[in-house]
Amino acid sequence: MKIAIVEDDINMRKSLEIAMGDYKEFEVITFKNAVDALKKLDDTYDLVITDINMPKMDGIEFIKELNGRFEVIIMTGNATLTRAIESIHLGVKDFLLKPFDIDTLIAAIEREAKVQAVTKKSKKGTKKADKQKEFFGESEALRKALNIADKAAKTDASILLLGESGVGKEVFASYIHKNSPRAKKPFVAINMAALPENLIESELFGFEKGAFTDATEAKAGQFELANGGTLFLDEIGEMPYGVQAKLLRALQEREVRRLGSPKSIKIDVRIIAATNANLQEKIKNGEFREDLYYRLNTIPLHIPPLRERCDEILAIAQKVCKESSQKYGFDEKSFSKEAENELLSYEWPGNIRELISVVERAVILSEGQEIQKDELYLETRK
Sorted by where each begins, the domain ranges of the chain are 2-118, 142-304, 307-381
Cβ pair 181, 43 in contact under 8 A: yes
CA distance 211 to 218: 9
Helix, strand or coil for residue 49? strand
| Peptide linkage before 99 cis (omega within 30 of 0) | yes
- β-pair partners for 207: 219, 259
The whole-chain average pLDDT of the chain stands at 87
* Between 238 and 88, the higher pLDDT residue: 238
Spell out a b/e string for 220-253, using b for 16 or more CB atoms within 10 Å of the CB, else e: ebbbbebbebbbbbbbbbbbeeebbebbbebbee
Cβ pair 31, 40 in contact under 8 A: yes
pLDDT digits over 140-184, tens only? 888 889 999 999 999 999 999 999 999 989 999 999 999 999 998
Q: Check residue 285 and give its pLDDT.
A: 95
Cβ pair 346, 379 in contact under 8 A: no
- β-pair partners for 190: 233
CA distance 14 to 257: 46
CATH of 2-118, picked from 3.40.50.2300, 3.30.499.10, 3.30.420.40, 3.40.50.300, is 3.40.50.2300
Span 142-304: which CATH code?
3.40.50.300
- List Cβ neighbours of 127 (8 Å cut-off, separation of 6 or more): 179
Section 222-227 average pLDDT: 92
CA distance 135 to 311: 11
pTM for this prediction: 0.64
Give the alpha-carbon dihedral of 320, 323, 329, 334, to 10 degrees. 50
CATH of 307-381, picked from 1.10.8.60, 3.40.50.1950, 3.30.1360.170, 3.90.420.10, is 1.10.8.60
- Domains 2-118 and 307-381 in one fold: no
pLDDT digits over 279-322, tens only? 999 999 999 999 999 999 999 999 999 999 888 899 899 999 99
- 126 to 121, 133, 148, 178, 187: CA distances (angstroms): 9, 10, 19, 12, 20
pLDDT digits over 56-104, tens only? 888 888 888 887 778 888 887 765 656 666 666 667 777 888 888 888 8
**Of 79, 100, 82, nearest in space to 90 by CA:** 82
330, containing H or E segment:
none
**Of 212, 215, 200, 320, nearest in space to 250 by CA:** 200
